[in-house]
Amino acid sequence: MNRYCFLCILLAALMLPACGSSSSSDSPKDYLPASGEITGWAEDADKGEPGPEETDDLAVATIWVNGAIDHFVATEGWVSLAREFYKNASDVEISLHIYMMNSDAKAGEVYAAIEGYTGVTWTDTDFGGGESEGRFGVVFTYCYADAIKGKYFLETTTKPTTAETEAKDFMKAVLNKIP
* pLDDT tier at 67, thresholds 50, 70, 90: confident
For 157, the domain range is 28-177
* pLDDT tier at 108, thresholds 50, 70, 90: very high
Whether residue 90 has pLDDT greater than 80: yes
Nearest to 106 by CA among 136, 137, 75: 75
Q: How high is the pLDDT of residue 70?
A: 83
Query: By percentage, how much of the chain surpasses pLDDT 90?
Result: 64
Total structural domains within the chain: 1
Per-residue pLDDT, averaged over 96-119, amounts to 90
Mean pLDDT of all residues in the chain?
Answer: 85
Q: CB–CB of 93/119 below 8 Å?
A: no
Q: pLDDT: is 173 or 23 the higher one?
A: 173
Lowest mean pLDDT among 16-25, 55-64, 161-170: 16-25
Indicate the Cα dihedral angle 32, 37, 39, 43, nearest 10°. Answer: 60
Per-residue pLDDT, averaged over 164-176, amounts to 95
Residue 16 included in any domain: no
Q: What is the CATH number of the domain that holds 92?
A: 3.40.1000
Residue 2 included in any domain: no
Whether residue 7 has pLDDT greater than 50: no
DSSP the chain: -HHHHHHHHHHHHHHGGGTT-SSS---GGGGSPPTTTSTTEEE-TTSSSSS-EEE--HHHHHHHTTTTTHHHHHTT-EEEEEEEEEEETT--EEEEEEEEESSHHHHHHHHHHHTTTS----EE---SSS-SEEEEEEETTEEEEEEEETTEEEEEEEESTT-HHHHHHHHHHHHHH--
Residue 6 included in any domain: no
Residue 8 included in any domain: no
Residue 122 included in any domain: yes
Q: How high is the pLDDT of residue 17?
A: 39
Residue 108 included in any domain: yes
Residue 73 included in any domain: yes
Residue 10 included in any domain: no
Whether residue 157 has pLDDT greater than 90: yes
* pLDDT tier at 25, thresholds 50, 70, 90: low
Q: How high is the pLDDT of residue 19?
A: 40
